[in-house]
Amino acid sequence: MTPDTVNAPDQPSLTKTLTALAAHAQTRPNAAAILDDAESISYQTLWQDLCRTISALGPIVPAPDALVAVEWTSPYRHILLLLALEHFGVVTATYRPQEIAGDYQRLFAHSDLIAAATIRPHKETLTILCNDMWWERTLSEPADPAAICDSKPAVNHRIASSSGTTGAPKFMMRTCAQSEFRFGQNQMRLGLTPNSRLVLPASFAFQANYLSFISCMRAGGYCIFAGEVPLFRSLKEQSATHSIVIPMEFIALKAPEYRKKLPPGLKIIIVGGSLSPADRTAWHEACPTGTLIELYGTNESGTIAEMQSDKHGKIIPELEVQVVDDKDTPLPFGHAGAIRLRGAPCTVQYLFEDHPRPDRFRGGWFYPGDLAILEDAQHLRLLGRDDDLLNVRGYKIPATAIEDVVKGFPEVVDCCATTLQDPLDDGAIWLGVKFLPNFEFSDIQQKLKTHLTFKADIHLYSVDAIPRGPSGKIQRHKITARLRQHIHSSAQRKPNSTA
């Protein structure tokens, strides 16, 4: 049976993903589908467990286009819940246990059902407890694919969340059409096949992982969840053919164990930011025959441009992109300004907000908060985020102009540059650095003087970690708040050293 024959007149009409899974289960029943916590699950077992989960949820699932929040526990269980709920035409949203408090209460309050694995996160919303006992009972029932009826049609598909650089989640609706468009883009770029081995590093709270997983399942590949194993070690040990990676993971490639040791031909999509020149050099040393696919995009819009070289990219044809001044006037080619965009792939508002967000959505355009130059109608050059520009005594300096240089130093693990704009501060740049063991401050001081292309006073200090959001973006506001508290609580500020 092929995907086309699954929906024959005597067969139920299923979603595109379920149609593919049913076909793989019949034609390749013993082929490996998912590796979760060292347990390999075949396509036949996946399909049977999915049928069991659909049967268990049937009596309680709400009407099509209702909203169900699903707690992330193990990848396999989460997958079964999402695909079963998709069969009923409901909208799903993923949350993690650590997100139960705070801003995620807005999601729970607007949900029609919560599928919780640990505790009930909202006292007023109907909740089903999908704990170990529930799963043991559900997956021990007989699997009866014949009991699966037609999938319910739906307009909306998923609620995506994004915390950006602030850490405060923003929720947005993704329609079925928008999801299908992104699945198609993913498949076009990755070229997944039944022989693919896709390694994923994190939960489906990170949207790119969910999109790539579905693409892999439709193609009949093997999806491997890295779990607690460091990502690049998992890529090597699992003979990965594909992966989705955020830039901060490339720190690991400084270790000599990866030099020419990653699987040949490995194809990686970079999401959540751009790589530094040092990251690209480390990658080519670790995987000389590999392929990096660098994308510029947002959760709100999906991919905006496919990056062709450092900071230069080609805009996808489905989006209209302009660069505007501070009065929203479009600028001619070659002039720097703020990016705005619109088009079918883009969301038009945030959900569950008490007030509109004109800083992001106005006049039918989405403003991602990035600065760029349009080189022509199809190409742009990124300049960075507007909130990543450091105001140094009136001069605007991109933080990445410092961070990309410092990350190239072999003794540096991670770093963050910021300014305070505080009356008690002297207007210098503060550079927090996480070092490898046995570093020397004096070495870094000298390198800063010789490698930076501009002159500025820089206060250098050591940190244990740089605070980052789920996508790896630096949460600069947290570092600034800590530094401001430090200089206000100290009568005389004494930095470790100054470069």
What is the residue type of 229?
Answer: V
- Asked which of 113, 134, 154 is the last residue of a domain, the reply is 154
Do residues 388 and 476 lie in contact, with contact meaning Cβ atoms separated by under 8 Å? yes
Contacts of 301 (CB under 8 A, 6+ apart): 319, 341, 343, 345, 346, 347, 366, 368
Quick: pLDDT tens for 305-318: 999 877 899 999 99
Which CATH number does the domain housing residue 106 bear?
3.40.50.980
Does the structure show a pLDDT above 90 at 182?
A: yes
Give the pLDDT confidence score for residue 1 in this predicted structure. Answer: 41
Please state whether beta strands 113-116 and 127-129 pair in parallel, antiparallel, or not at all (unpaired). Answer: parallel
268 backbone φψ class: left, alpha, beta (φ>0; ψ -120 to 50)? beta
193, part of any domain: no
* Bridge partner list, 397: 390
173, part of any domain: no
| 88 in the same domain as 7 | yes
Does the structure show a pLDDT above 70 at 10?
A: no
**3-state secondary structure (DSSP) of residue 269:** strand
Which has the minimum average pLDDT: 56-65, 221-230, 387-396? 387-396
Does the structure show a pLDDT above 70 at 166?
A: no
Provide φ and ψ at 117, rounded to 5°. Answer: -110, -20
Provide φ and ψ at 486, rounded to 5°. Answer: -65, -45
| 117 in the same domain as 81 | yes
Contacts of 406 (CB under 8 A, 6+ apart): 412, 415, 431, 433, 444, 448
Which has the minimum average pLDDT: 56-70, 193-207, 276-290, 437-451? 437-451
Does the structure show a pLDDT above 80 at 328?
A: yes
160, part of any domain: no
Lookup result for tokens 């490898």: 436
- Asked which of 136, 154, 172 is the last residue of a domain, the reply is 154
Contacts of 368 (CB under 8 A, 6+ apart): 298, 300, 301, 304, 339, 340, 341, 360
| 12 in the same domain as 112 | yes
d(CA 214, CA 223): 9
d(CA 344, CA 437): 49
| 236 in the same domain as 381 | yes
165, part of any domain: no
Give the pLDDT confidence score for residue 264 in this predicted structure. Answer: 94
| 408 in the same domain as 440 | yes
Does the structure show a pLDDT above 50 at 497?
A: no
Which has the minimum average pLDDT: 172-181, 239-248, 283-292, 463-472? 463-472
181, part of any domain: no
DSSP 177-199: HHHHHHHHHHHHHH---TT-EEE
Which has the minimum average pLDDT: 123-132, 136-145, 228-237, 468-477? 468-477
179, part of any domain: no
Provide φ and ψ at 416, rounded to 5°. Answer: -150, 130
208, part of any domain: no
Q: Output the average pLDDT for the chain.
A: 88
d(CA 365, CA 342): 5
Give the pLDDT confidence score for residue 447 in this predicted structure. Answer: 81
How many folded domains does the chain comprise?
3
% of the chain residues with pLDDT over 70: 93
The C-alpha R_g of the chain, in whole angstroms, comes to 24
Average pLDDT over residues 446-461: 80
Do residues 313 and 140 lie in contact, with contact meaning Cβ atoms separated by under 8 Å? no
| 41 in the same domain as 123 | yes
205, part of any domain: no
Structure tokens at 134: 């529930």
| 408 in the same domain as 371 | no
Which CATH number does the domain housing residue 426 bear?
3.30.300.30
**Sign of the CA dihedral with 74 first, then 76, 79, and 80 last:** negative
**3-state secondary structure (DSSP) of residue 133:** helix
Give the pLDDT confidence score for residue 389 in this predicted structure. Answer: 83
| 371 in the same domain as 431 | no
Does the structure show a pLDDT above 70 at 2?
A: no
Quick: pLDDT tens for 65-81: 999 999 998 899 999 99
Which CATH number does the domain housing residue 361 bear?
3.40.50.12780
d(CA 470, CA 463): 19
Rounded (10°) angle between helices 75-87 and 16-27 = 120
| 381 in the same domain as 235 | yes
Do residues 483 and 467 lie in contact, with contact meaning Cβ atoms separated by under 8 Å? no
* Bridge partner list, 414: 434
| 381 in the same domain as 237 | yes
Question: Given pLDDT bands bounded at 50, 70 and 90, which one contains residue 480?
Answer: confident
- Asked which of 154, 178, 206 is the last residue of a domain, the reply is 154
Domain range for residue 447? 393-498
More confident residue, 208 or 177: 177
In 3D space, the residue among 436, 296, 433, 439 whose CA is nearest the CA of residue 370 turns out to be 296
Structure tokens at 483: 């530094």
| 247 in the same domain as 379 | yes
Rounded (10°) angle between helices 207-219 and 176-190 = 70
| 146 in the same domain as 16 | yes
